[in-house]
């Protein structure tokens, strides 16, 4: 079930969704989405002629590719046609496991109509995630696009999960920030798997509206 603006505000107030710094809800919140802004951190891949990456290999590790990236800290970035850049949201997002909330990051139509994609088939923000959201941005259009830090760049759609996950998100990008990978979870040090299991057994199965407004 997708949360509306009313449920999103309630969830933010109850810290069932945690966003730092808090967006200006008067401008960032729409009927079913919340806008986030662009950070001043951009990451380019260094082109290496003749190189081939094999993600399906048992020896493959994304972390081993980090030396191939160039990190830039600047207030604007020119995204040329047919160019790709990794970017970040200014805001850190946390979706505590016990909140039963996951999210999807999607682009803005104002950018999409210029040919700018915000993510490359990776929109899922898992329940239990904590960190800045990395954006995989590509310019499909014919024009150079100037990206400014602080601009509204993407929107989150929040959905309530049926239950609390036994296993929170623990992938390679868990706790990621625009300063690097794997900052520890804010909640993982507090809630043990035993607590999560007990919560699953005892918590009633409320509807989205009933749970957040009760």
Catalytic residues: 136
Among residues 163, 168, 200, which one has the least CA distance to residue 184? 168
Whole-angstrom distance, CA of residue 193 vs CA of residue 44: 38
Backbone dihedral angles phi then psi of residue 8, each to the nearest 5 degrees: -65, -45
Structure tokens at 84: 């790709």
CA 146 to each of CA 109, 115, 149, 151, 167: distance values in angstroms, whole numbers, following the listed order = 16, 13, 10, 11, 40
The answer to whether the CB of 157 falls within 8 A of the CB of 125 is no
């Amino acid at each position: 079930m997708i949360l509306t603006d009313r449920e999103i505000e309630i969830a933010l107030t109850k810290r069932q969704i945690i966003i730092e710094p808090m967006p200006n809800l008067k401008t960032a919140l729409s009927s079913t989405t919340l806008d986030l802004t662009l950070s001043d951190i951009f990451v380019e891949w260094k082109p290496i002629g003749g190189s081939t990456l094999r993600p399906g290999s048992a020896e493959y590790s994304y972390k081993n590719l980090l030396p191939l990236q160039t990190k830039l800290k600047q207030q604007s970035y020119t995204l040329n046609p047919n160019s790709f850049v990794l970017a970040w949201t200014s805001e850190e997002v946390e979706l505590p496991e016990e909140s039963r909330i996951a999210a999807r990051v999607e682009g803005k139509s104002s950018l999409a109509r210029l040919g700018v994609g915000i993510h490359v088939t990776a929109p899922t923000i898992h329940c239990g995630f904590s960190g800045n959201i990395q954006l995989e941005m590509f310019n499909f259009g014919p024009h150079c696009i100037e990206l400014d830090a602080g601009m509204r760049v993407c929107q989150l759609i929040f959905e309530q999960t049926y239950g609390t996950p036994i296993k929170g998100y623990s992938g390679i990008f868990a706790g990621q920030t625009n300063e690097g990978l794997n900052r520890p979870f804010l909640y993982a040090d507090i809630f043990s798997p035993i607590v999560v299991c007990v919560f699953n057994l005892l918590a009633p199965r409320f509807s989205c509206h009933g749970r957040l407004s009760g």
